[in-house]
Amino acid sequence: MISIMDTDFYPEVLKEFNYSFGDVFVFDKFVVSEIRQGVDFSWDNHAKAVIDDVFWFLGTPDGATINLISNRINSYSVMASDWVKFFKNSYFLNSYIVVSDKARLSNATIEKLFFKGTIKHFSQLEMAINFVKNDMVEID
């Protein structure tokens, strides 16, 4: 697993948000999140701040145009039921993509129970980014 900072895509970052719990990178067509090791990621302590910052920067009131790539380079937990709070606040995503190896995929499986939509999975960050850059067409 590789950080976005160690790829050829990193120079394309429009805005970088650095938090004590992780980093978020805003690009033209997508947003990449990288949460730190051991974090218990929740709506109240983490996600709300990220949403406020990213949506304000992009000028979107509801996030419906955002493609979120969760680059799971570290082991951490996501409070899956907090997706209910996300949708209760009338927020949306154009797409939600998880990049992880099989060992870290179990949390995404639980998130599917609460996420309104499809969670796409890739094992490599480059594949996920190319998927979004090519207007959601899978590239072999």
Integer Cα distance of 114 and 136 in angstroms? 22
Contacts of 28 (CB under 8 A, 6+ apart): 12, 14
Query: What domains can be seen in the chain, in order of their start residue?
Result: 4-131 (3.30.750)
Integer Cα distance of 138 and 13 in angstroms? 23
Please give the chain's pLDDT, 140 residues, in tens: 899 999 999 999 999 999 999 999 999 989 999 999 999 999 999 999 999 999 999 999 888 889 999 999 999 888 888 888 888 888 888 989 999 986 555 555 666 656 777 788 899 999 999 999 997 655 44
Phi, psi values for residue 119, rounded to 5°: -105, 115
Integer Cα distance of 79 and 89 in angstroms? 17
